[in-house]
């Protein structure tokens, strides 16, 4: 693109005066010294053989190989969204050459049109100013003379009959999204350490909202929690209860008449079911992504070691990014079957970098049980069998530690495992028929149950294998 106006009338070229006669001179090996004379406003002159150097000509100047490039604006390299303001005119003169005028102070250049004297350049400048003053009139005159250059009627075709109606039947992605979005909120927590953001779902009409513990963890220390609803209005919220063991929390706003989402039965979920993830990824509120259930019973350990959450997770390929945490995973019936909580990290990464098609959600049955406890008591419980596991064991199954750890015995006296006959050094091979190969798998499988439930463990003691029935014991978060 050039700076020339295609609609401006052509500028008349000034008449070029005939060259002045010059006296022949003897060729010399050194350039002639310039003599005083009036400064020329004319641009660079073309050299001819046998002519003498003019007073205003620079000796042995080189032509620029190419015009200097204009500076270009560089986009910022960081930030999720970038706005680029309109470029303002650069006050720095460029080094581009022009056919009609050149700076008398710049380097001499060659011209293919012959020499232009001071009077000629003045005429060109005057004509240029006149063209600028009457440019609008000249442009219209040119358009009148060239009818084909004038734009045609810009009215575009309209859809026949007002357009084709798009079918969005019940159960379509659009219908499910329209039903779910009003019940999904964005959450912001402001603490001294910074701002945390996430998502949540309306749990009860009386202002109860379910989210992840890691989203509102700082609220326990007095941080301010703000909830933004789908219609844009905001409300401050208070923490009702939270548990790091399941990475779940309930907050409440002083508002009634809200539209809750329904927690479905996650036990009915099968691999391949269509799902929608709803939330505020990267702060982009009311975002919906789609995918399928990729796997079930994925053992996921999330959070710091001191407060790690063990999740018997639903895996999905629906796009989940930072900020989706606490939002619902919805099935094709519009029911919540999971709470989006974690995404996989690539090898060698220490922080979440974004969706790679491996997202994980807390099953809705677990969310229901924990949320009820948090609303009723402010705390939640989880089941245990009463053993310490050996993390260094590399063989088949999971081995019970042989020695005490930090003062705790490997098998809790009178605990569920002790009453079932499990001893230090025994290897647990499966739980309810599901093989386990690492400690996290066994812990996650147990946490998916409720206190008081009975599980069947396949246990190996030395060379002998046996099945034992263990009734799970209850423990409160923080113990």
Q: Which pLDDT band, with edges at 50, 70 and 90, does 308 fall under?
A: confident
Per-residue confidence (pLDDT) for residue 142, from 0 to 100:
53
Per-residue confidence (pLDDT) for residue 348, from 0 to 100:
72
Helices 118-133 and 135-145 cross at an angle (nearest 10°) of 80
Q: Is residue 147 part of a domain?
A: no
Specify whether 325 is catalytic: yes
Question: At 387, which CATH number?
Answer: 2.30.42.10
Q: Which pLDDT band, with edges at 50, 70 and 90, does 346 fall under?
A: confident
Q: Is residue 262 scored above 70 in pLDDT?
A: yes
Specify whether 247 is catalytic: yes
Residues 235 and 272 in one domain: no
The stretch 291-320 carries a mean pLDDT of 90
Residues 336 and 421 in one domain: no
Place of tokens 């379910």: 210
At residue 271, φ and ψ (nearest 5 deg) are -65, 130
Specify whether 231 is catalytic: no
* pLDDT digit string, tens, across residues 167-201: 888 889 999 999 999 999 999 999 998 999 999 99
Residues 283 and 370 in one domain: yes
- 377 bridge partner residues: none
Q: Which pLDDT band, with edges at 50, 70 and 90, does 110 fall under?
A: very low
Per-residue confidence (pLDDT) for residue 76, from 0 to 100:
40
Distance CA 315, CA 343 (A): 9
Instruction: Determine contact, residues 275/296, Cβ cutoff 8 Å.
Output: no
Q: Is residue 146 part of a domain?
A: no
Place of tokens 């907050």: 251
* pLDDT digit string, tens, across residues 391-446: 899 999 999 999 999 899 999 999 999 999 999 999 999 999 999 999 999 999 99
Range with the poorest average pLDDT among 16-30, 41-55, 230-244 = 41-55
Q: Which pLDDT band, with edges at 50, 70 and 90, does 124 fall under?
A: very low
Place of tokens 């989402």: 261
Residues 370 and 417 in one domain: no
* pLDDT digit string, tens, across residues 238-247: 999 999 999 9
Per-residue confidence (pLDDT) for residue 182, from 0 to 100:
97
Q: Is residue 120 part of a domain?
A: no
Per-residue confidence (pLDDT) for residue 22, from 0 to 100:
52
Q: Is residue 143 part of a domain?
A: no
Domain's final residue, options 324, 346, 377 = 377
The stretch 269-275 carries a mean pLDDT of 98
Q: Percentages helix, strand, coil for the chain, rounded to the nearest 5?
A: 20, 25, 55
- Nearest partner of 171 among 28, 270, 276, judged by Cα: 276
Residues 163-183, buried b or exposed e (16+ Cβ, 10 A)?
eeeeeeeeeeeeebbeebeeb
Distance CA 383, CA 416 (A): 10
Domain's final residue, options 351, 377, 403 = 377
Question: Which pairing describes strands 309-316 and 464-471: parallel, antiparallel, or unpaired?
Answer: unpaired
Domain's final residue, options 377, 397, 422 = 377
Distance CA 317, CA 121 (A): 70
CA angle 64, 67, 72 (to 5 degrees): 145
Question: At 358, which CATH number?
Answer: 2.40.10.10
Residues 192 and 246 in one domain: yes
Q: Which pLDDT band, with edges at 50, 70 and 90, does 217 fall under?
A: very high
Residues 270 and 310 in one domain: yes
Q: Is residue 209 part of a domain?
A: yes
Counting residues of the chain whose pLDDT is more than 70, the rounded percentage is 66
CA atoms within 13 A on the CB side of 74: 4
Distance CA 427, CA 338 (A): 32
HEC-encoded secondary structure of 399-456: EECCCCECCECCECCCCHHHHCCCCCCCEEEEECCEECCCHHHHHHHHHCCCCCCEEE
Q: Is residue 41 scored above 60 in pLDDT?
A: no
Per-residue confidence (pLDDT) for residue 156, from 0 to 100:
86
In the DSSP assignment, the letter for residue 335 is -
Distance CA 452, CA 23 (A): 119
Cβ neighbours of 39 (radius 10 Å) = 10
The stretch 268-291 carries a mean pLDDT of 97
The residue range of the domain holding 472 is: 381-476
Q: Is residue 357 part of a domain?
A: yes
Per-residue confidence (pLDDT) for residue 159, from 0 to 100:
78
Per-residue confidence (pLDDT) for residue 419, from 0 to 100:
96
Residues 453 and 435 in one domain: yes
Residues 194 and 247 in one domain: yes
Residues 203 and 233 in one domain: yes
The stretch 378-390 carries a mean pLDDT of 96
Residues 281 and 356 in one domain: yes
Q: How many Å is the Cα radius of gyration of the chain? A: 39
Residue among 245, 247, 312, 390 flagged as catalytic: 247
Q: Which residues contact 183 (CB under 8 A, 6 or more apart)?
A: 201, 202, 230, 258, 259, 260, 261
Q: Is residue 216 part of a domain?
A: yes
The stretch 203-208 carries a mean pLDDT of 98
Per-residue confidence (pLDDT) for residue 166, from 0 to 100:
83
Per-residue confidence (pLDDT) for residue 154, from 0 to 100:
86
Residue among 214, 245, 426, 440 flagged as catalytic: 214
Higher-confidence position of 205 and 352: 205
CA angle 403, 408, 412 (to 5 degrees): 90
Distance CA 188, CA 199 (A): 9
Residue among 199, 280, 325, 341 flagged as catalytic: 325
The stretch 380-386 carries a mean pLDDT of 96
- Nearest partner of 242 among 207, 211, 284, judged by Cα: 211
Per-residue confidence (pLDDT) for residue 176, from 0 to 100:
96
Residues 323 and 301 in one domain: yes
Q: Does the pTM exceed 0.85?
A: no
Q: What is the mean pLDDT of the chain?
A: 78
Q: Is residue 39 scored above 50 in pLDDT?
A: no
Q: Is residue 55 part of a domain?
A: no
Residues 352 and 386 in one domain: no
Task: Report the number of distinct structural domains present in the chain.
Answer: 3
Per-residue confidence (pLDDT) for residue 456, from 0 to 100:
97
CA angle 418, 306, 427 (to 5 degrees): 30
Q: Which residues contact 109 (CB under 8 A, 6 or more apart)?
A: 43, 44, 63, 64, 97, 102
């Amino acid at each position: 693109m050039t700076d020339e106006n295609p609609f401006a009338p052509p500028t008349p070229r000034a008449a070029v005066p005939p060259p002045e006669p010059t006296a022949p001179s003897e060729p010399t090996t050194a350039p002639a010294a310039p003599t005083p004379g009036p400064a020329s406003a004319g641009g660079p002159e073309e050299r001819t053989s046998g002519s003498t150097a003019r007073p205003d000509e620079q000796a042995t100047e080189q032509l620029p190989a190419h015009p200097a490039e204009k500076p270009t604006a560089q986009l910022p390299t960081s930030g999720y969204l970038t706005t680029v303001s309109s470029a303002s005119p650069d006050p720095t003169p460029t080094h581009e050459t022009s056919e009609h005028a050149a700076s008398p102070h710049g380097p001499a250049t060659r011209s293919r049109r012959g020499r232009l004297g001071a009077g000629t350049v003045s005429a060109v400048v005057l004509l240029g100013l006149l063209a600028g003053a009457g440019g609008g009139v000249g442009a219209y005159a040119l358009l009148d003379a060239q009818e084909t250059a004038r734009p045609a009627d810009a009215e575009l075709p309209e859809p026949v009959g007002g357009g084709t109606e798009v079918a969005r039947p019940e159960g379509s992605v659009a219908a499910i999204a329209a039903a779910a979005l009003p019940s999904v909120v964005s959450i912001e927590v402001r603490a001294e350490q910074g701002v945390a953001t996430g998502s949540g779902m309306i749990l009860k009409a009386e202002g109860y909202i379910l989210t992840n513990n890691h989203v509102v963890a700082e609220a326990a220390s007095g941080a301010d929690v703000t909830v933004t609803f789908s219609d844009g209005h905001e409300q401050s919220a208070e923490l009702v209860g939270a548990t790091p063991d399941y990475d779940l929390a309930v907050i409440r706003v002083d508002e009634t008449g809200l539209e809750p989402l329904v927690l479905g039965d996650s036990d009915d979920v099968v691999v391949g079911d269509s799902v929608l993830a709803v939330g505020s990824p990267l702060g982009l509120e009311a975002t919906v992504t789609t995918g399928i259930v990729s796997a079930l019973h994925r053992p996921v350990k999330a959070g710091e070691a001191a407060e790690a959450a063990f999740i018997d997770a639903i895996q999905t390929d629906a796009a989940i990014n930072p900020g989706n945490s606490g939002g619902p995973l919805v099935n094709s019936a519009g029911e919540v079957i999971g709470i989006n909580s974690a995404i996989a990290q690539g090898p060698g990464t220490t922080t979440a970098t974004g969706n790679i098609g491996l997202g994980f959600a807390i099953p809705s049955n677990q969310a229901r049980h924990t949320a009820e406890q948090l609303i009723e008591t402010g705390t939640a419980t989880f089941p245990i069998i009463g053993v310490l596991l050996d993390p260094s064991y590399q063989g088949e199954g999971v081995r019970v530690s042989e020695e005490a750890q930090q003062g705790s015995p490997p098998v809790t006296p009178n605990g569920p495992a002790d009453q079932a006959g499990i001893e230090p050094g025994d290897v647990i091979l499966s739980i309810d028929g599901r093989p386990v190969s690492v400690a996290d798998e066994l812990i996650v499988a147990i946490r998916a149950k409720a206190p008081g439930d009975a599980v069947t463990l396949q246990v190996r003691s030395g060379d002998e294998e046996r099945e034992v029935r263990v009734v799970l014991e209850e423990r409160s978060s923080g113990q």
